[in-house]
Amino acid sequence: MTAQLELLSARDALGPDPIPDLTAADLIVYSSSGGKDSQVGLDETVRLADAAGVRDRIVVLHCDLGVTPRGHTIEWPGTIDLARRQAEHYGLRLEVRRSAKWASLLHRIRDRGQFPNLFNRYCTAIKRDLSRKFITEQVAALGITRRPAQVVLVLGLRAEESRARATKPAMEIDQRASSGRRTITLWYPVLRWSTAEVWERIRASGVPYHWAYDQGMSRLSCSLCVLASAQDLTCAARLRPELAQEYADQEAEMGAPFRRDLSMAEIIQRAKAAA
């Protein structure tokens, strides 16, 4: 009953979200994180692309945030392999890109002397730059002349995850990334979906999901995301203690807290107490 009420309030009450004309798209780039929202977003994108007869125009892109100075992955172990398996389930290829400037997100944090925050999302900036460079490469390979290439960039964002996302339209032109050579349409196909709907689709699809959810994580992004809940951060520090300690040591070296209201040292103590 609760899921039905969520469905009525989020989608029926607002009316159907717009869908880009996929038949007019020269390229559909799906930005995959390997997380649950990204996973169902890919499933929904493939479903709608099949209806339009354009599945062959989809390429899946994973932007990896690199390896720390001590050799730990910023993202959860196994994420790239899972993203590849999810793409292969639909017969799609996965492309992986990494920053040429920073070996990892932690290297950028050290360079800036502070951790990311709501207004300075280094990870988002890295992924945005990588996506734009990838699209530039793909558009050049298409060899389209005399008109801008039509590109749809798809992301599995959901309104439930933040207030900022709740105000987003389901489809919009990326004015900053578009040019005379390409028009990029941003599309969020599962923007109004509830968490219950997400897990229902995952179970129905039979596609593997990330192991971290079964270990207690409610969301999946960087292993230690500054925007995560205290509960998820405590869980992540318990599951990845060596990475958490590297963050704590970086915190002490910079003299800047992981988060204004919560230091990594405190998160580690919480994780030890919860173990």
Section 48-69 average pLDDT: 98
Query: Helix or strand or coil: residue 172?
Result: strand
Q: Say which residues have a Cβ less than 8 Å from residue 98's Cβ, sequence separation at least 6.
A: 63, 64, 65, 66, 130
Phi, psi of 38 (to 5 degrees): -65, -40
* Lowest-confidence segment of 10-19, 28-37, 68-77, 146-155 by average pLDDT: 10-19
| Structure confidence by residue, pLDDT tens digits, 240-267 | 999 999 999 999 999 999 999 999 999 9
Q: What is the structure's pLDDT at 5?
A: 47
Q: What is the structure's pLDDT at 181?
A: 96
Q: What is the structure's pLDDT at 13?
A: 55
| Structure confidence by residue, pLDDT tens digits, 201-231 | 999 999 999 999 999 999 998 999 999 999 9
Q: Identity (one letter) of the amino acid at 136?
A: T
Q: In the block, which residue shows the tokens 């919560």?
A: 262
Q: What is the structure's pLDDT at 221?
A: 87
pLDDT of 268 over the 80 cut:
yes
- pLDDT band of 2, cuts 50, 70, 90: very low
What is the average pLDDT score of the chain? 93
Q: What is the structure's pLDDT at 167?
A: 76
The conformational region for residue 255 under phi > 0 = left, psi -120 to 50 = alpha, else beta, is left
- The pair of three-digit structure tokens given for residue 58, joined into one six-digit string: 């989809």
| Distance from C-alpha of 58 to C-alpha of 46, rounded to nearest angstrom | 8
| Structure confidence by residue, pLDDT tens digits, 111-142 | 999 999 888 889 999 999 999 999 999 999 99
Nearest to 71 by CA among 264, 246, 258: 246
Longest Cα–Cα distance in the chain: 63
| Structure confidence by residue, pLDDT tens digits, 182-197 | 999 999 999 999 999 9
| Distance from C-alpha of 16 to C-alpha of 5, rounded to nearest angstrom | 16
Query: All domains of the chain, ordered by start, with CATH?
Result: 2-195 (3.40.50.620), 224-274 (no CATH)
Section 27-50 average pLDDT: 97
Beta bridge partners of 200: none
- pLDDT band of 148, cuts 50, 70, 90: very high
